[in-house]
Amino acid sequence: MVMSPPVRRFALSVHLTCSIGWVGAVIAYIGLGTAAVLSDSPATVRSAWVAMELIGWYVLVPLALGSWLTGLVMSLGTRWGLFRYYWVLFAFVLTTLATTVLLMHMPDVSSVADAVQIADPGDLDRYGGDLFHAVLALVLLLLIQVLNLYKPPGMTPYGWRKNNRERRTRTT
């Protein structure tokens, strides 16, 4: 089933908003993680971790889930399909991976945010920022963006079969 043009434009707008917002939120998260790593101020380290937890649960997670869901809707409701083209399938798998890692990682962020609130100021050195996951997420999201922008050629075997079936149906 293919979406009508107005529905497709609306779904695409929501998908782009979620996806671009996710990238922006990751960049903000990296900024906070950097502040937590570089700062000698206990207040800054504590504040950065609390802000990372808030951004994680109230911005990153909803945008990731929104991007995943609207990506699924877009793939199933357009001619691209979810399983027809490798680039769509790879982008969806990478989005699923990034969303899953985020959901598995956020309880750890909450634990550290709670721990820094009660830690002695001298012990805050061991609570560096969470840069590894955030930078990896940014690279992954930018890779997904490139896939969606350039749409590298290549149909899956399923896509070839489906196209051939549609061609035969149109000619008969």
Torsion of CA 35, 116, 49, 123, to 10 degrees: 20
**Alpha-carbon distance 24 to 122, whole Å?**
32
Q: How far does CA 78 lie from the centroid of its chain?
A: 21
Domain count, the chain: 1
Give SS3 for 34.
Answer: helix
Q: What is the pLDDT of residues 55-78, one digit of tens each?
A: 999 999 999 999 999 999 999 999
Q: What is the pLDDT of residues 124-135, one digit of tens each?
A: 777 776 789 899
pLDDT confidence band for 79 (50 / 70 / 90): confident
Segments forming the whole domain that contains residue 132: 5-171
Q: Residue 124's pLDDT is what?
A: 76
User: Once rounded to an integer, what is the mean pLDDT over residues 1-11?
Assistant: 91
Asked whether 101 and 137 are in contact (CB, 8 A), the reply is yes
pLDDT at 165 over 90: no
How far, CA to CA in Å, does 124 sit from each of 30, 119, 120?
18, 7, 7
DSSP 78: S
**Alpha-carbon distance 43 to 12, whole Å?**
41
Q: What is the pLDDT of residues 8-55, one digit of tens each?
A: 999 999 999 999 999 999 999 999 999 988 988 999 999 999 999 999
